[in-house]
Structure 1
């Protein structure tokens, strides 16, 4: 039985030997070392030969020499990877890549047994999307990692993140403007989103109090949505603000099955402006949030915190404020009438 030899990494020494030049010259070219009087022709030869041989830089050695790994580790909460989070990660990844950094997401769990990535990767920065517990923050700092945590952000950043959370207030204001006085907030049963759901419920309730609306919340899922809709109809509820577009689509689908026209008898508004909002029949009115903008903003904050003078740190880019997108699922309130029983 024969075994295939293990491919050996191509080194700068291999390139130097192939071209008949010094190892130091090759190193200066590959590392873009400043202050060297190496001709353009030699530089081109070195780069061409490196490409021909399949040279790849040794990242660990480069990190040791430069003191940087060019890695930003993003600590994510234990949320499902939905439309908003995907858009955030995509934009942050692209912004960091343009600056020469790699974004690596990680989600810590209490039951984790593997060595945490902030120890194994030695990132230039650990970036958190949400405030961390004191215990987790201490673990990251004890590993010698630099941490950028939202709860320690400057006033400008905190103000932007607060503005970003105004979506539920916009939902309620939109329904009030249409004449709806009895509004219910439909929240998700996903336990991973409990904190975020509570924040959105609280924001919607505060807005309802300001407007003097009859407001309450209800956790809904596929099992209880039918009974919940019947209860809402008995209570004279005419509008629903949903935690997100998935929950809004669930409400619309169940209402149609019960013979409860949307938006004729029940107005429904979602949150996030995910692709589902445009595909639902009727198409969902919703709140559009600039999650991609948040990703770019957080990436800019990360680069500013790292302080890499070679990339020309700019001020964080602006974000668009949340806004209502009006489609087919919300109309002005109509006088109540009998609804077919399911």
Structure 2
């Protein structure tokens, strides 16, 4: 493993004393270092690939530039929408000189992360959750929600699904929920969005059913649904992955999509256009949210009070062949 380049290495490369190099690299305003000497130090540091050592900087009183992110419930980063938001947030924070470190899973109070000295902590947990409250006890820096307004964001996608299907003349709807227990809280929020929007539009009560992750199970679930509720004409899937299961089951059962059953997913999965038929879906533009959140995190890191920003509650439909 390559040895970390230190200020002593830079001093040898530049042919200067360690004290002089330290003054330059740390930007000590009390020392009057000639500009040619400063340039010599910086050139040597660049040649060697020197980077300041974070813990040592903090001991000298420098401000932390670390933003620590906890995402309980995303143990495997399988939620690609959340992962994309976090990746974009990291890019936006970099523009402010901050560095995002993301810890997956539920081990907020364990692991190497408790030894870090962040400027701000972000958590995907709700502010009322025990996990969020524990972080506020553990860290003396601002602890902020990573996905503020998440409930409205989740329900908003379901609202767009129902409005789209209704506009296509599909008034008797079903909600295809995932079978995984860990997704039930999110599925419940989306179900609320489906039923609330159906009520607002004067539609019959939608029907909820679970779609197993295996093809045979999905076939049995859809067959039972259509036998029990033969008037179902529109399907609001929890997300695109569940919608793929519905499309596969419909193909095996000979159910024509969209002629007999229109299907709409959520999240705009990259495989959606490759489905047969190509999957209609719902997406939300989170660009403004990410930029606003990065700005407020930077304010918190600087010691200012951040303002509240929320995820968007409106989504747009990407219509393809399945609806």
Question: Would you say same fold, with TM above 0.5?
Answer: yes
Change (3 A) 1:132 1:212: same
Structure 2 Cα separation of the partners of residues 68 and 102 of structure 1 = 12
User: Which of 100, 118, 126 in structure 2 is aligned with 1:103?
Assistant: 100
Task: Tell me by how many angstroms 1:60 deviates.
Answer: 0.9
SS of structure 2 residue aligned to 1:166: helix
Q: Is the 1:294–1:319 Cα contact (8 Å) retained in structure 2?
A: yes
Report whether the alignment pairs 1:42 with 2:32: no
Structure 1 Cα separation of the partners of residues 311 and 253 of structure 2 = 44
- Normalised by the length of structure 2, the TM-score is 0.85
Which 5+ residue runs of structure 2 have no aligned equivalent?
A: none
Report whether the alignment pairs 1:143 with 2:133: no
Task: Tell me by how many angstroms 1:290 deviates.
Answer: 2.5
Deviation string for 1:10-52 (max 9, x for gaps)? 4324433543434343223223345764444322211121233
Q: Determine the structure 1 residue equivalent to 2:219.
A: 226
Report whether the alignment pairs 1:23 with 2:18: yes
Matches within 5 A, 1:80-95: 80-95=77-92
Structure 2 Cα separation of the partners of residues 138 and 124 of structure 1 = 17
Structure 2 Cα separation of the partners of residues 319 and 184 of structure 1 = 25
- Normalised by the length of structure 1, the TM-score is 0.80
Matches within 5 A, 1:1-342: 9-34=4-29, 37-79=32-74, 80-109=77-106, 112=107, 115-132=110-127, 134-150=129-145, 158=149, 162=152, 165-214=155-204, 215-221=206-212, 222=214, 223-234=216-227, 235=229, 236-291=231-286, 293-307=288-302, 321-330=314-323
Which 5+ residue runs of structure 1 have no aligned equivalent?
A: 1-5, 331-342
Structure 2 Cα separation of the partners of residues 113 and 178 of structure 1 = 46
Task: Tell me by how many angstroms 1:170 deviates.
Answer: 0.8
SS of structure 2 residue aligned to 1:73: strand
The two structures, once aligned, show a CA RMSD in angstroms of 3.1
Change (3 A) 1:138 1:232: closer
Aligned length: 315
Q: Is the 2:178–2:210 Cα contact (8 Å) retained in structure 1?
A: yes
Structure 2 Cα separation of the partners of residues 9 and 274 of structure 1 = 41
